[in-house]
Structure 1
Amino acid sequence: MSNVTEPSEPTDSTNTAPNELASLRIRYRVRFQKTGLLRWISHRDLAGLWERIVRRAALKLSMSEGFHPKPRIAFPSALALGVEGLDEVVELELAEAISPHELLERLEADNQPGLTIKSVSQLPEGFGKGQLKQSLFSITLPERCDTAMIQTAIKNLLSQTTVSVERKKKTLVANVAEQILNLELSDDRLQLTLAASASASLKPHDVLDLMGFEDWIENGSHIIRERVILETEFQSNNSAEVAHATNATNNITTEY
C-alpha cells in the first residue's frame, strides 16, 4: 500500500557524543488523518506502519530497555477497524534532536496513501504523555431513516442513569451523563462526544446498539472520529516548537 519517497538526509549529529546520543529521549506529538482504504487496517497494523514510516525516514528512534527493545511509539487512543480518523495522535520518541519542521517534511515524504500528517510538536522535557480525554465522532445516517425515531432514541438513551454493554463475554456498566457528553442529530449525521473512562468506556458502536440502531453500519452508515482531545494539550505559536502541514485539511470528505 506504500508509495515511498526517498527521505531527506538525517540531521547532522557529528557534534553529539555517542553516549549523549544514546541517552537522548526527545518526544514529538504528531497529529494525522487516517482515511480512505487505510481505515480498514487494524490498530496493530497501524502501529507497525508507523514504525516502518519512521525507519524509512531515517530517524534515530529511542528504544525501550530489556531483552527485546522496541521503538518508543505510543498512541493515546486506538481507532477501531473501519473508523476514519481526522485528528489522530501518535507520540514518537527520538534519540536525536531535529526541528518539528524537518520531522514533518520527512514524515510527509513517505507519501503513504490514506495517511495525512497535520502537525508535529516537539514536547518540552517533562511534558505529560498523551492521555485521551474526549473523542468527537460523527456518524452518517443510513438511507430512508426516520429522524423522529432517532430523536426519540436519543432522548430515551440520555434519560438513563446507567447502561450495560456486553464486551468479551463480560457485562460492563457505564454512567450515561459522565460518558456521553453530547449526542444530537445535526443535518445528515449524529454528532457524538464520548469521554474517556478508566473503567468501561463506551464506543460509538455501543451507542448505536443502545439506541436500537445496530444495523446502521451494514446499511451504509460510517463512523468518523473528527477530533481527539487529550488531558494535556500542547499549544504554542513558536515555529521552533510546532510545525503545521500546508496541505492538511480539518475535514476530508471520502467517497465510499
Structure 2
Amino acid sequence: MREQPEQQAPPVQRLRVRYAKRGRLRFSSHRDFSRVFERAVARARIPMAWSSGFHPHPRISYAGAAPTGAASEAEYLEIGLAEVSDPAAVRAALADSLPDGLDVLEVVESPGGALAPLLEASVWRVALPGALDRGTVAGAVAAFLAREEVLVERVTKRGPRTFDARAAVVSLEVVPPEVAGTGAGSGAESGAGCGLALVLRHTEPAVRAEDVLSGLRTASGADLGPRPLLTRLAQGPLREDGSVADPLAASE
C-alpha cells in the first residue's frame, strides 16, 4: 500500500494582495505570473502554509485575473501563512522579490470568507488610436447601448463560443485622451486620440473588455483601428449606482 503523505496544518493567517501588471509585463499569462509569484514568495522567505497530498504547493488562491495583454491596476490573490506576519512587512518583501511591472500595491489581512465572489464587476479604460474621430467612436457607443443584445464570438479553449456583450455592460462612455491614458506610473501608454470608460459586470460565461469592442464593431460597423490598450483600473463589489467598491475595504 502506498504510504499516505503527511497532512499539513491549516493556515494560521490569510492575507489578501492587490498587485498591478504594467508595461510589457501585461503580456505575461496567468500561468507565467503564478510561476513568478511562487518563486517570489520563496525568495522573500514568506512563511507560507502548504497544501496536503502527494504534490504539496504553497497556499495561493488567485481571483479574477486579467486576460493576457491587458494592463491592470487591480489584480488580486490570497495567500495562507504558517506564521502570523505583519502585512506591511510581507508587502515590502514581495515588492523586493517581484520584477518591475508586477508591483504589489496593497496587502491586508483577510476577514474570512472567499475573495472571488467579491469581484462582481470591473472598471476599464480603453485607449484608442489617435487617428480615430471622436464622433465615430461616440456613434459606435450609442449604437451599442441602443441594442438589447449584441452577440459576439470568441474562440476559447473549448472552441468558438457566443456571448451577449451588451448584457455585461453596466456603463460605457467616450472619454478624452487625458482620461483614456491613466497617467504616469499607472502602466498605461498615453497618446490615444480618445478612449472609452467601461464598467463591466462579471458574468458567466465571462464577457471581456475586448468582447465589448467586438460588440461595438458588430452594432455599428465602425472600424476602431488596431488592438487598443486595455487597462483595468478596479474590480470589486458592484454598487447600486453602477460604481465599483474596493474589495479589500472590509479587510482593513
TM class, shorter-chain normalised?
0.7 to 0.9
1:25–1:96 Cα contact (<8 Å) kept: yes
Aligned-residue CA RMSD (Å): 2.3
Give the one of 160, 174, 192 matched to 1:170: 160
For residue 230 of structure 2, what is the aligned residue in structure 1?
223
Higher mean displacement: 108-117 or 34-43: 108-117
Structure 2: runs of 5 or more not aligned: 1-5, 178-194, 239-245
Alignment of 1:1-256 (within 5 A): 22-124=9-111, 126-131=112-117, 132-167=119-154, 168=156, 169-174=159-164, 176=166, 178-188=167-177, 189-197=195-203, 199-212=204-217, 216-218=225-227, 221-230=228-237, 233-235=247-249, 242=252
Structure 1: runs of 5 or more not aligned: 1-18, 243-256
Structure 2 SS opposite 1:120: strand
Question: What CA distance in whole angstroms lies between the structure 1 residues aligned with 2:160 and 2:31?
Answer: 23
Shift of 1:24: 2.9
Aligned-residue identity in percent: 28
Given residue 113 of structure 2, which amino acid in structure 1 is its aligned partner?
F
1:133–1:195 Cα contact (<8 Å) kept: yes
- Listed one character per residue, the Cα deviations across residues 170-202 of structure 1 (whole Å, up to 9, x for unaligned) are 3323262x41011100112110111101x2222
Question: What CA distance in whole angstroms lies between the structure 1 residues aligned with 2:224 and 2:57?
Answer: 40
What TM-score comes out, normalization by structure 2 length?
Answer: 0.77
After superposition, the Cα gap between the structure-2 partners of 1:145 and 1:84, relative to the gap in structure 1 and judged at 3 Å, is same
Given residue 196 of structure 1, which amino acid in structure 2 is its aligned partner?
H
1:172–1:200 Cα contact (<8 Å) kept: no
Question: What CA distance in whole angstroms lies between the structure 2 residues aligned with 1:23 and 1:74?
Answer: 14
Question: What CA distance in whole angstroms lies between the structure 2 residues aligned with 1:161 and 1:26?
Answer: 46
Question: What CA distance in whole angstroms lies between the structure 2 residues aligned with 1:217 and 1:35?
Answer: 20
What TM-score comes out, normalization by structure 1 length?
Answer: 0.76
Shift of 1:32: 1.3
Shift of 1:111: 5.0
Q: How many residues align?
A: 214
